[in-house]
Structure 1
Amino acid sequence: MSTVDDRKKGCCNMPDGAEPPVTASAEYGVALESLRSAAKWLLTAFAVVAGALAAGLQLTGLGGLEACRLIPAAIGAGIALWSLGYMATKASAVLAQEWVTLGNFSNEELTSLFRDDQKSEKSQRFRTALERIEDDRNELYGHVASSLPNLRQKLRETNEKLISGQAGEEEKRRLAEESAALREAARDVAQCASYFTTLGLFQDMRKTLAWTSFLVVAGLGVFAWAANPPKEDKPLQVQVNVKR
């Protein structure tokens, strides 16, 4: 297991021209941006489809329909438009996901999270993220703290000592290095938690996309059937002139 000094040396003692090692926070940041880019693309696609759908619906002829066809046409169009709007809402949730910070891992927050009455989707996503953080604790923060609340406490105490002005120069350098390592671990934890909570929203969006796509197709099919009744066959009038 690496120590704070080991990580510090690994970052500083590098050959000229060598690139710095990719941190966990950077890797999670790239993955998080990929999820949000996919959600942004889907949101744009939903807007284009909804606009084309609204422009393509033949609403001008609905006034001449009988009630037995007017009602299904209105319901079909409403279902299709509502489904597209709901899909857009789910995609927007991925983009607007609240950022997770180290403050979310205090003892009070964790106690509230694991109460039996916390059954919301947000709580479930956060639990999943916490489980993944604990699975990767040795890579994320295990080298500087024993637990997430301990990481938060050590970071606060180190920063308080650093700004108190009572430490000597050697002590300040040591505290600065320790604070840098703790802040790096905090960033890794925050990026990991943000990624997995956003991933939960993205997976939920994909499930929603499956059944709402079916509703869009079904709604358009009902509308097309109801808005285009079969033309009535008019009897052909034949006039016969008989010459004597």
Structure 2
Amino acid sequence: MAIYEQQTGADQVQQEEHGASVRGAARWLVTSYAALAALLVAGIQLKGVTSITPEWRLAVALLAVLIALLATSTVIVSASRVLIAPALTWNDLVRRETKEMTRRPTTPAAILDETPPKQDPLLTELKWFTQIQPVQFTSPRDLREKLSAAREDLNSNPSDGLREQVLQYEQAAQACLQQANAWWSRQLYERLITLLKWSSTLIAVCILVFLWASRPPEEPAKVSKPFPVTVYLQGSKAAATAAKLDAACVGQVLSGWAVDGKINEPEVVTQPSGACPASRFTVTGELGVAVPVAAK
């Protein structure tokens, strides 16, 4: 009976034996990652999202949260594949071997090609592993055929020698499966490590983007009560005309009071100075600057 057609000890590898240390390390990494992610997310106040303005900032903030959640869920799914013990069977090994054989060159031109076909890394590792086994075989397919033949010989001509041979082949098959599953656990672990690096960076960037979008630049303080200022009108005549100032005020230094508007661009009421009449206008950057002075 073929090895893949019955549930033997070789097909029922103890799940806790192979890759246990790998899964333990993965569990520790995922726990640390989850704690760090929870600490970072705790600082984000999602309840204030709807108050974000303008709308494009709200869209950016929501997109950053969505990407961070998708990255976190991807890590959880990948971690579950590492934490759950893999269970490669002989069917999997034979399927990989068959796929590798179909990639081998068959035409003269392909055989003469200097570029060798890419080898399956698992089968390459098993080839080295077979050299330390007490029975001789070259591949999973070869071991399967030898085990099947030994079982047929044992059924037709029972003997202690054949029983010992079948037992050795079965033990070699179990050892190969354990090696294959340990290899697969390492591959999943390495993929998880790479994913953790990229996802951690992505989540950190998303958090920074969210904080930036949810906290728009603060507007300058506004004038809460009148205070004395000295206004230096350094702008052009066109800027004065736009502010509805008399042309005689251009280049003047005026005294007055800031009564409204922003601190950096206040609305002022100035006293007359020479030909410049008393005026009320906003001191923009194009027009000049208003400097607060101590009240007398």
Fold in common (TM above 0.5) = yes
Q: For 1:226, which of 197, 206, 213 is the aligned residue?
A: 213
In 1, Cα distance between equivalents of 2:90 and 2:102: 20
Q: Which amino acid aligns with 1:153?
A: E
Which has the higher mean CA deviation after the structures are superposed, 216-225 or 151-160?
151-160
Q: For 1:139, which of 114, 124, 132 is the aligned residue?
A: 132
Deviations 1:222-242 (CA, angstroms, capped at 9, x unpaired): 1111112344344232269xx
In 2, Cα distance between equivalents of 1:203 and 1:40: 13
Structure 2 equivalent of residue 201 of structure 1: 188
Q: For 1:89, which of 77, 101, 118 is the aligned residue?
A: 77
In 2, Cα distance between equivalents of 1:75 and 1:109: 41
Structure 1 equivalent of residue 140 of structure 2: 148
Q: Which amino acid aligns with 1:151?
A: L
Q: Which amino acid aligns with 2:169?
A: L
Structure 2 equivalent of residue 212 of structure 1: 199
In 2, Cα distance between equivalents of 1:99 and 1:75: 38
Structure 2 equivalent of residue 21 of structure 1: none
Deviations 1:192-241 (CA, angstroms, capped at 9, x unpaired): 1112222222222222222221111100111111112344344232269x
Higher gyration radius (CA): 2
In 2, Cα distance between equivalents of 1:229 and 1:175: 81
Asked if the contact 2:96–2:120 (Cα under 8 Å) also holds between the matched residues in 1, the reply is: no
Asked if the contact 2:130–2:138 (Cα under 8 Å) also holds between the matched residues in 1, the reply is: no
Structure having the larger proportion of residues in strand: 2
Higher relative contact order (CA 8 A, sep 6+): 1
Q: CA 1:115 to 1:207, structure 2 compared with 1: closer, same or farther past 3 Å?
A: farther
Asked if the contact 2:97–2:123 (Cα under 8 Å) also holds between the matched residues in 1, the reply is: no
Report whether the alignment pairs 1:128 with 2:115.
no
SS in 2 for 1:232: coil
Deviations 1:168-202 (CA, angstroms, capped at 9, x unpaired): 5xx1x222211221111111111111122222222
| Structure 2 spans left out of the alignment, 5+ residues | 1-12, 104-118, 228-296
Q: CA 1:148 to 1:210, structure 2 compared with 1: closer, same or farther past 3 Å?
A: same
Structure 1 equivalent of residue 60 of structure 2: 72
Structure 1 equivalent of residue 165 of structure 2: 178
Shift of residue 49, structure 1, vs aligned partner = 4.4
Q: Which amino acid aligns with 1:65?
A: I
Q: CA 1:213 to 1:140, structure 2 compared with 1: closer, same or farther past 3 Å?
A: farther
SS in 2 for 1:235: coil
Q: Which amino acid aligns with 1:79?
A: I
Q: CA 1:234 to 1:147, structure 2 compared with 1: closer, same or farther past 3 Å?
A: closer
In 1, Cα distance between equivalents of 2:195 and 2:181: 21
Asked if the contact 1:69–1:227 (Cα under 8 Å) also holds between the matched residues in 2, the reply is: yes
Asked if the contact 1:46–1:87 (Cα under 8 Å) also holds between the matched residues in 2, the reply is: no
Q: Note the aligned Cα RMSD (angstroms).
A: 3.2
Normalising by structure 2, we get a TM-score of 0.58
Structure having the larger proportion of residues in helix: 1
Equivalent runs, 1:53-72 vs 2, <5 Å? 53=40, 55-66=42-53, 67-72=55-60
Asked if the contact 1:140–1:189 (Cα under 8 Å) also holds between the matched residues in 2, the reply is: no
In 2, Cα distance between equivalents of 1:177 and 1:206: 43
| Structure 1 spans left out of the alignment, 5+ residues | 1-24, 117-125
Q: CA 1:215 to 1:93, structure 2 compared with 1: closer, same or farther past 3 Å?
A: same
Q: Which amino acid aligns with 1:203?
A: E
Deviations 1:13-36 (CA, angstroms, capped at 9, x unpaired): xxxxxxxxxxxx99x945x11111
Normalising by structure 1, we get a TM-score of 0.68
Report whether the alignment pairs 1:189 with 2:182.
no
Structure 2 equivalent of residue 158 of structure 1: 150
Aligned length: 200
